[in-house]
Amino acid sequence: MKFLDEAKVYIRSGDGGNGCVAFRREKYVEFGGPSGGNGGRGGDVIVEVVDGLNTLIDYRYQQHFKAPKGTNGMGKDRHGANGKDIVLKVPVGTQIFDEDRTTLIHDFTTLGEKFVLAEGGNGGFGNAHFKSSTNRAPRNANPGEVGEERWIWLRLKLIADAGLVGLPNAGKSTFLSKVSAAKPKIADYPFTTLHPQLGVVNADGREFVLADIPGLIEGAHEGAGLGDRFLGHVERCRVLLHLVDATTDHAGKAYKTVRAELEAYAGTLADKIEIVALNKIDAVTAEELKKQKERLKRASKKTPLLISGVTGEGVETALRALVEVIGEAPVSNKAKAGAQAEPSQAEPWAMPPG
């Protein structure tokens, strides 16, 4: 399955059916009176959260959704049928924004949640509706109301309990593959991860969902590298695990680079609880490890954990630290299902401009 976390969609609800002007014409019945029926109501556009989805890829191939119009009223007091509603199915964690991309219309966080995005127009009244003691033969009817139309943006923010952040090649994908059944792409070049990955982690009998996102580089908030749009996928996390590569030139500077991007991001990521870990400790000497640890401690103002995603050293300690922050709140079943339904390689258009 391809991964897409943002899509622009045009929606239009159905117009209401027109009312009918008609009179009863029957042999031997004089002054039969008005018999025009009302028009049917137009179909609504409804957005529903369903299970089994973890991407907006369906809206890559279809961007226009129009609900059918209500049927016009007819003679013999026959009312028109209502137009059928159309349902846009989205994964949990989807947000709907107006065309300006800033006005939030609705945020879906619960499986099975529904939201009427555009209501269909009401049907017009037929002339039978206007009959009264003083108006015995009305010859007027109402047209149906016009439906609503608009362009919207669908934006997916994955739901996870904890998130991994760091520079490219900090070992985030290796860590995720070590602690869960997820199988992200792992290679020795930057930006191996092109789209978010989810994994279900079991630590001391406690399950939680861990999210891995593409690496951040200096200037990501200005579009450098893969940009910082993917940070939206860890906005809902309760805690961030910040991995710093022990083999980098200066662990403290690497930490500050990522922190600067988190603070520049338009959100609350910089205020989230952060656990700092020095990764790849198996690839450096004891003397270099001590030096990098001190640099990272000065930069982060906290004692970093020492871990190795390859050998597994210190991994359990990091997981226990995450569990301690996450607490005992049950993880979302949909988040677990999404983590187990791993998306495949992203297409070029699924990535932000860099």
79 is annotated as contributing to ligand binding: no
Query: Would you list the DSSP string of 88-155?
Result: EEE-TTEEEEETTS-SEEEE--STT-EEEEEPPPPPPPPGGGG--SS-SS----PPPPPPPEEEEEEE
**Is 169 annotated as ligand-binding?**
yes
Task: For residue 168, say whether it is annotated as part of any ligand binding site.
Answer: yes
Contact 73, 17 (CB under 8 A): yes
- 267 marked among binding-site residues: no
Q: Per the annotation, does 17 bind a ligand?
A: no
Residue 280 annotated as lining a ligand binding site = yes
Residue 124 annotated as binding site: no
Q: Do the annotations mark residue 80 as ligand-binding?
A: no
Contacts of 151 (CB under 8 A, 6+ apart): 8, 9, 10, 99
Does 343 show up as a binding residue in the annotation?
A: no
- Is 193 marked as a binding-site residue? yes
Which run of H or E residues covers position 337?
Answer: helix 333-340
* Rounded Cα distance, 52 and 196, in Å: 17
d(CA 275, CA 265): 19
Residue 336 annotated as lining a ligand binding site: no
How far apart CA 96 and CA 104 sit, in angstroms, is 6
CA geometry: angle 271, 268, 55, nearest 5 deg: 130
Residues in the chain: 354
Is 54 annotated in a binding site? The answer is no
The answer to whether 215 is annotated as binding is yes
331 carries a ligand binding annotation:
no
70 is in an annotated binding site: no
279 is in an annotated binding site: yes
The reply, when asked if residue 171 is annotated as ligand binding, is yes
Is 152 marked as a binding-site residue? no
173 is known to lie in a ligand binding site? yes
CA diameter of the chain: 110
Residue 37, annotated as binding a ligand: no
Per the rule left: phi > 0, alpha: psi between -120 and 50, beta: everything else, 291 is alpha
310 annotated as a binding-site residue: yes
User: What's the CA angle centered on 136, arms 131 and 137, to 5 degrees?
Assistant: 90
Tell whether residue 121 is among the known ligand binding residues. no
User: Which residue ranges make up the annotated binding site for GTP?
Assistant: 166-173, 191-195, 212-215, 279-282, 308-310
User: Which residue ranges make up the annotated binding site?
Assistant: 166-173, 191-195, 212-215, 279-282, 308-310
User: Which residue ranges make up the annotated binding site for Mg(2+)?
Assistant: 173, 193
